[in-house]
Amino acid sequence: MKATFGAGCFWHVEHLFAHTKGVRSTMVGYTGGHLSNPTYEDVCTDRTGHAEAVQVDYDPDEISYEELLGVFWNNHDPTTPNRQGPDVGIQYRSAIFYHTPEQRETAEESKAGLSESGRHKNRIVTEIVPAGAFYKAEEYHQRYFEKHM
């Protein structure tokens, strides 16, 4: 099964998911924008509407979508619009790109639960939107941390 998340710079997010039990593979890329086949340089202009995202292929018999959402929520700040740490721009927004109605429902419930938990003092701004075209990022972005450790 597939899951797609935007949580800031995709290098760190991919690394986290790639080392999560039950995840079979990961790919970083761009989604949620209006330009076909964008490059990293295009996305960095902040004019294409794309988010840096990680597409996760996972085995639902080993890890649930809810557990993947836990990895997502626990590893970025979902209260900062278009920003994660020092990275600023629409491409760094917090987003869940759902592939099925069940994923949408689970994501909405998970977001509501997190909001009600009081864990964050600011409002959660994570968007939950249908998964659209996903454009694989350039090869040097794939498994970036493993290549540069």
Is residue 98 within a helix (H) or strand (E), and if so which, with residue range? strand 94-98
What lies within 8 Å, CB to CB, of 63 at 6+ separation is 20, 21, 22, 23
Instruction: Name the token pair of 33.
Output: 């924008």
Residue 35 — left, alpha, or beta (φ > 0 → left; ψ -120 to 50 → alpha)? beta
Catalytic residue from among 9, 54, 71, 90: 9
- Catalytic site residue 9? yes
> Phi/psi at 138 (nearest 5 deg)?
-55, 150
Q: Determine the 3-state secondary structure of 91 from DSSP.
A: helix
User: Which residues are part of the catalytic machinery?
Assistant: 9
